[in-house]
Chains A and B, each alone.
Chain A
Amino acid sequence: MKHPHPSPMLDRELARLGVPYDTAEAARRTVSRDAWAVGAIMDYYGAPVEPIAAAVVSPRDEAEVRAVVRWAGAGGHPLVPRGGGTSLTGAAWVDRPDAVVLDLSRLTEVFEVDAARRVVTVGAGLTGARLEQRLQAQGLTTGHQPSSAARATVGGFLATRSSGPFSGRVGKIEDLVRRAAWVDGEGGLHEDEGPGGFLDLVLGCEGTLGVFTRAGLALQPLPEHVAMTSAVFDSLDAGLTAMRRIVQEGLAPAFLRLYDPSAAVQALRNPRRGRSGGGWLNPMGRLGRRSLPLILRAAPLWNRLIQETLPRLWRNRYLLLAGAAGDPFGAQLGVTQMGTILTACGGRDLGQEPARRWWLHRQALFEIRPRVFASGAFADALDVCTTWSRMPALVAAVLEELSPHAFVMAHFSHAWHDGCSVHFTFAGAGRSLSDTLTRYHHVWSLALTAAARHQATISHHHGVGRLKRDFFASEHGAAVEVLRGLKRTMDPRGVLNPGALWPT
């Protein structure tokens, strides 16, 4: 479908605003979607993602952000804030043709390291990778390095309360933010200190209450050394118990990950192949466009084979990877103590090699997804969180719900004193665009319903976006009225990312 040039009036208004903008169709189409799987599914079938934004506006500083928001409020233009466009849940997805994309990726000028206060103040448009690169050159780090960091921005981290693989050591982004500046729905500029207080009402709002422009993040010295260890367990319960004891006994691991049998094979890819990725999804991705969907349509069979039959033949199939960071002696001592706990919980020591392989290729899954989509299949991930006691039942319920419909595997990658998150990766295929989308949404609905039934959250760090918004109210219960009041207070005209987080 051709999208004609937006109205001359819009063009004139934007030109008068004096903020860089683009109304060319190609530019609008590019920024109208994020990394939500729906876009890749539609690409495979050659179906255009509709609608697309009326324009994209790219402010260069805080003043221009405020000007754009005020203009949008006055004219009733819905704004879709966008950082790196890496949301997996459609948080930066355009779902109405009058929307204007607020591209924040140019807010990169601010970068100030305050060594005395041990805080870096940074523009919201800087990517996580670029930030770390500049900090690590000075021997410093935030420690926040999610797998999307190559493209994801600091503002995006704050807007989704993101988490990186080293959360056991540094926490989530809300633990690192010391202060942040943000623009509300009327163009007002706020500066709040955290953690806690009003700032925690804006963190995780996915651009619906305000748009982050700057953040002060806590700094740490770059660890000298990361020591690693690995073990396998013959049951999920044993592996979870080991994880729980490591964090509850105060070992502060730099990373701590547990994989079910399917995910373990995926995690243990061989780095000597010279390309990242491997495990189940990589050979599947090489099977060709016709073969992979056929195989995935037999997902119930594969799931039964891996989850029920293999365990009878293959013991010790739950893989746990752990690491400690610090000075070489301290890190090694930490890993040795973790090893003691792993053994006490029935783990069989595999040494450091499996953990090292994961370390080297920890961002590979982000690279595998496009190959799966290119073969006509779909892949996505549900990240939810619950207490240690509820976790086994939650895992069983979600696997049972999804197994008839998609190939599914689970891993646990963020452990806290009182619980952990579980990451279900699933892949499936349909016979046509509508069949594939129906299956995709059906799988999500089943998974989120099961999570809600077992009192898990609907997200640990991926956020809600447009994908999970119908489950937002079930998460917050009576508090949803307070949150709606917050929206009315901070964005009375309703211009900030309408449709994300909660249904309009």
Chain B
Amino acid sequence: MAHVSTGAFLLRAREICGAEHVSWPDPAAALRVHPATTAQVAALVRAARETGCPVRVVGAGGDPGAAAGSGVVQMDLRRANQVVAQDPVGSWVTVQAGITPAELEARLDPEGFTLRFHPAGHQDRPLAELVSLPLPGLHTGAAFRRVIALTAVWADGATLRTRVSPRQAVGPDLRAFLVGGHGACCVVTEVCLAVFPAAVPSGFETLAFRDLSGAIEAASRLTGEAPLSPLELALVRESDRWLLHLWFRGPAACVAVGRDRAAHGAGVAIGEAPARAFWRPAAVPPGAGVALRPRALDAATLAGMDLAPGEFVSGFSFAGAVHFALPDVPPPPVFLGDPADPRVRALLASTDRV
């Protein structure tokens, strides 16, 4: 790595992005760049390498405060927020990674589609940040399964594009590896995401339980009842009771029967309003303002957990769920090219072409 020269990077960054998109208000603080294209991100990554400046994708993980020091380049992709391509038949959309779920929902709505994405506390955070976080289990399987393809700038500045394809078996799956990588290997610049027809009927119901074990047992049972299963379940604590918010989606008959079954099963049905409010995409979710940290729970751990106010459990499957927990002590910041896993470090070293 070359000697750190933030000043030299500043000049290069102004050439690449335009001076108005580079800010460095205080030499003791991090330098912030706002690229608008993949090409600009690639050029910035190369420039940062040549000048020895560590790069961090804003929001990618770790303590942001600890990554705000002098010499650090903070890559903020919010200016890259365009829809690149859309396929209504294939039900996918390719967007620049600076777009937020809220912005994308607003653009999809007139087209009759929804992102159907509920990253609690993240509605206004760019997808670049969200795909950097390990978000397993959101809506019908791990979140990265919803990422059909992506474009990313590798740590050495090379641009990678994975093919827009639903599933394949052609060697290792880079897409699944890069999503959730905290931005340590690459900066994700474009994401092709599955989107969903908005017109498909929905139904909601909330079940109340006196004890956690009853709620978990009900959640587990409900997930195994496809095609009558709820699309999504979330477990929250409300004073002395546990609420299971159910969101059904599918043909009207399945929604009606699924909801009716749930309402007449375990727990006390308290109506659709609480669940509808919880799952509304634009709603301010519990824990708003705080980026809840997702962690996967297996079924046994799930049974022994507790929930703080504002936390919730979602992404239920027969084998577990995802606990959206309040952050504890923030982990160290993650920089591009500096992953924690020694195997990934070795991989980066072996692919370094600079």
Contacts and interface: CB of A to CB of B under 8 A. Distances in A.
Given A209-B172, A385-B166, A479 B160 contact: yes
B163 interface: yes
B161 A477 contact: yes
A162 B180 CA distance: 23
Nearest to B192: A418
B351 A326 contact: no
Interface string A111-132: 0001011110000000000000
B347 A485 contact: yes
Contacts of B1: none
Contacts of A200: 172-173, 176-177
A206 interface: yes
A82 interface: no
B77 interface: no
Number of contact residues on B: which range applies? 35 or more
B257 interface: yes
A320 B144 CA distance: 30
Interface residues of A, number: 91
Given A195-B136, A482-B154, A206 B171 contact: yes
B160 A482 contact: yes
A119 B166 contact: no
A201 B177 contact: yes
A481 B186 CA distance: 14
Interface string A407-443: 0000000101111110000000000000000000000
B318 A118 contact: yes
Interface string A302-336: 00000000000000000000001111001001101
Contact of B165 (A178, A190, A386): A386
B171 A416 contact: no
B343 interface: yes
B166 A250 contact: no
A455 interface: yes
Of A114, A483, A485, the most chain B CB neighbours within 10 A belong to A485
A252 B227 contact: yes
B164 A489 contact: no
Contacts of B224: 220-221, 326
Pick the most buried of A174, A336, A459, A486: most chain B CB atoms within 10 A of its CB: A486
A219 interface: yes
B91 A204 contact: no
Interface in A377-393: 385-390
A459 B166 CA distance: 12
Interface string A473-499: 001111101111110111000000000
A337 B90 contact: no
B90, B136, B141, B154 pick with most chain A CB within 10 angstroms:
B90
B299 A118 contact: yes
B173 A174 contact: yes
Contacts of B227: 250-252, 324, 326, 330, 333-334, 337
B168 interface: yes
A56 interface: no
A458 interface: yes
Contacts of B179: 196
A116 B300 contact: yes
Given A118-B318, A119-B319, A387-B92, A462 B347 contact: no
A161 interface: yes
A207 to B, nearest CB: 11
A461 B353 CA distance: 32
A292 to B, nearest CB: 31
A251 B254 contact: yes
Contacts of A201: 172-174, 177
Given A195-B136, A457-B170, A481-B353, A389 B87 contact: yes
A57 to B, nearest CB: 25
Contacts of B229: 252
Contacts of A178: 298, 319
A340 interface: yes
B89 interface: yes
Contact of A336 (B134, B253, B296, B299): B253
Nearest to A247: B91
Given A178-B319, A249-B251, A476 B171 contact: yes
Nearest to B224: A221
Given A248-B91, A248-B196, A330-B225, A486 B169 contact: no
B142 interface: yes
A489 B346 contact: yes
A36 to B, nearest CB: 16
Q: Which of A193, A336, A385 has the most CB of B within 10 A?
A: A385
B319 A219 contact: yes
Contacts of B296: 193
A83 to B, nearest CB: 15
A119 B299 CA distance: 9
Nearest to A455: B163
Interface in B334-352: 341, 343-344, 346-347, 350-351
B200 A198 contact: no
A160 B254 CA distance: 35
Given A196-B136, A330-B227, A118 B319 contact: yes
**Interface-centre pick from B174, B194, B225 (highest chain A CB count, 10 A):** B174
B3 interface: no
A463 B346 CA distance: 26
A337 B165 contact: no
Nearest to A421: B167
B228 A333 contact: yes
B169 A460 contact: yes
Interface in B226-260: 226-229, 231, 249-251, 253-254, 257
A464 B169 CA distance: 8
B144 to A, nearest CB: 5
Residue of B144, B171, B176 with highest tally of chain A CB at under 10 A: B171
A175 B1 CA distance: 39
A389 B317 contact: no
A92 interface: no
A418 B176 contact: no
B319 A326 contact: no
B253 A333 contact: yes
Given A219-B319, A388-B90, A472 B251 contact: no
B339 to A, nearest CB: 10
A96 interface: no
A219 B319 CA distance: 7
A193 B295 CA distance: 13
Interface string B172-189: 111011011100000000
A161 B249 CA distance: 29
Interface string B15-57: 0000000000000000000000000000000000000000000
B112 to A, nearest CB: 12
B90 A479 contact: no
Contacts of B180: 196-197
B231 A117 contact: no
B212 interface: no
15 contacts: A118-B318, A171-B141, A195-B142, A200-B173, A201-B174, A250-B227, A251-B227, A326-B228, A330-B227, A341-B251, A416-B167, A418-B92, A419-B90, A421-B166, A464-B171
Interface of B: 87, 89-92, 134, 136, 141-142, 144-145, 148, 154, 158-174, 176-177, 179-181, 194, 196-197, 200, 224-229, 231, 249-251, 253-254, 257, 296, 298-300, 303, 317-320, 341, 343-344, 346-347, 350-351, 353
Which 6 pairs, one residue from A and one from B, show the smallest C-beta to C-beta distance?
A: A485-B351, A419-B166, A457-B168, A200-B176, A250-B250, A334-B227
Given A201-B177, A330-B257, A333-B254, 11 more contacts: A196-B177, A209-B172, A250-B251, A334-B228, A385-B168, A387-B92, A388-B89, A455-B165, A460-B168, A475-B168, A489-B343
